[in-house]
């Protein structure tokens, strides 16, 4: 049967893609970010770690969906998804190849499990979906695995609650485990961490909040799932609300997990960036060395 072996979190900011495309990924500004991700790249390319399919949780940034259609939870069931033109032409990356059999299986299972999903048979994917792939896999001709895009509305209020996201993750795990084919499935939660892109408060970063969030995500996700939206907004900035999507990833893993890798960096453009590899404790592999990396911002002087 298919199994959710791994949960990964990643930033998905467009500036990361721009850094790759303009050859800046080794400069003083971006170097530490890509160095932090290199450990994940090396880990994921090992055959035993490479997913067959990634359920990639992200938010559409007014690309596939505009103000006419605002699905809270959607799932991409198509054969493939093209990179969206977000105003500067489509990102020069391969098409994202779906897994319609598993996607439809998950969609049906979720609906039977009381999650009323919006099913997408044609959908362009924006930086929210393609930047994490770039960060994990670099610049290949084709992405090395299938991807099921799962966009979540975190733009028009209200987004789903943390508890609802956490429960959705649990239902995704159950759906994957009832798929008969033997597949290594990852669930990735993307976005965050603290950031605000609008208004006079733009540029907000809250290191203490972010590090507590990571700790709680690993050790006490049930309590974390009860955090109200206003706490994210006050503490992590208006766009920090994206972090509720990490709870979907976490809900797809069992109560006890091991963090194989735990990377946090300030700043990536306007944002604080967090990238984690989590595995169920019972089947967890060896942690990476170093296991925890904190870089940038005030860490530089620490």
Choosing from 12, 99, 186, 195, the catalytic residue is 195
Cis amide linkage into residue 158, ω under 30° from 0: yes
The minimum distance between CB 200 and other proteins, in angstroms, equals: 3
Structure-block tokens of residue 52: 């067959």
Q: How far apart are CA 182 and CA 202, in angstroms?
A: 46
Q: How far is the CB of 81 from other proteins (least distance, A)?
A: 16
Q: Is 186 a catalytic residue?
A: no
Nearest to other proteins of 49, 194 (CB atom): 194
DSSP structural state of residue 282: G
Query: Which residues of the chain form contacts with other proteins (CB under 8 A)?
Result: 13-15, 18, 61-63, 66-68, 84-89, 155-158, 161, 194, 196-207, 209, 228-230, 233-235, 238-239, 266-267, 269-270, 272, 297-298
Find the shortest distance in angstroms from Cβ 283 to other proteins.
33
Catalytic residue of the set 12, 61, 99, 127 = 127
Residue 6 vs 25, nearer CB to other proteins: 25
Q: What is the C-alpha radius of gyration for the chain, rounded to an integer number of angstroms? A: 18
Nearer to other proteins, 141 or 223 (CB): 223
Closest CA to 13 of 103, 102, 135: 135
**d(C-alpha 75, C-alpha 120), whole Å:** 6
Whether 195 is a known active-site residue: answer yes
Sheet hosting strand 292-296, strand order edge to edge? 146-151, 53-58, 184-190, 3-10, 271-280, 257-268, 292-296
Least Å from the CB of residue 123 to other proteins: 14
**Which CB atom, from 119 or from 155, has the smaller least distance to other proteins?**
155
In Å, what is the CA distance from 103 to each residue of 63, 75, 189, 214, 281? 21, 7, 17, 28, 26
Q: Of 22 and 219, which has the nearer Cβ to other proteins?
A: 22
Enumerate the active-site residues.
Answer: 127, 195
């Amino acid at each position: 049967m298919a199994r959710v072996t791994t949960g990964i979190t990643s930033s998905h900011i467009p500036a990361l893609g721009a850094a790759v495309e303009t050859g800046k990924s080794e400069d003083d500004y971006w170097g530490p970010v890509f160095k932090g991700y290199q450990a994940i790249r090396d880990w994921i390319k090992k055959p035993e770690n490479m997913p067959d399919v990634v359920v990639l949780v992200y938010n559409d940034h007014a690309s596939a969906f505009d103000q006419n259609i605002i699905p809270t939870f959607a799932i991409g069931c198509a054969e493939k998804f093209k990179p969206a033109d977000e105003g500067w032409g489509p990102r020069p990356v391969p098409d994202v190849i779906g897994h319609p059999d598993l996607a439809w299986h998950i969609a049906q299972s979720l609906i039977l499990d009381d999650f009323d999903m919006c099913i997408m048979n044609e959908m362009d994917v924006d930086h929210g979906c393609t930047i994490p792939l770039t960060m994990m896999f670099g610049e290949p001709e084709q992405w090395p695995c299938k991807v099921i895009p799962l966009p979540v509305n975190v733009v028009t209020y209200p987004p789903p609650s943390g508890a609802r996201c956490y429960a959705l993750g649990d239902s995704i795990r159950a759906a994957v485990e009832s798929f008969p084919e033997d597949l290594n499935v990852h669930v990735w939660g993307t976005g965050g961490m603290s950031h605000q892109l609008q208004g006079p408060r733009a540029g907000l970063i809250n290191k203490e909040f972010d590090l507590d969030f990571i700790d709680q995500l690993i050790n006490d996700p049930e309590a974390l799932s009860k955090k109200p939206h206003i706490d994210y907004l006050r503490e992590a900035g208006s766009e920090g609300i994206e972090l509720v999507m990490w709870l979907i990833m976490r809900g797809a893993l069992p109560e006890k997990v091991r963090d194989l890798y735990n990377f946090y960096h300030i700043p990536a453009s306007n944002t604080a960036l967090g990238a984690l590899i989590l595995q169920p404790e019972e089947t967890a592999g060896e942690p990476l060395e170093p296991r925890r990396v904190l870089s940038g911002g005030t860490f530089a002087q620490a």
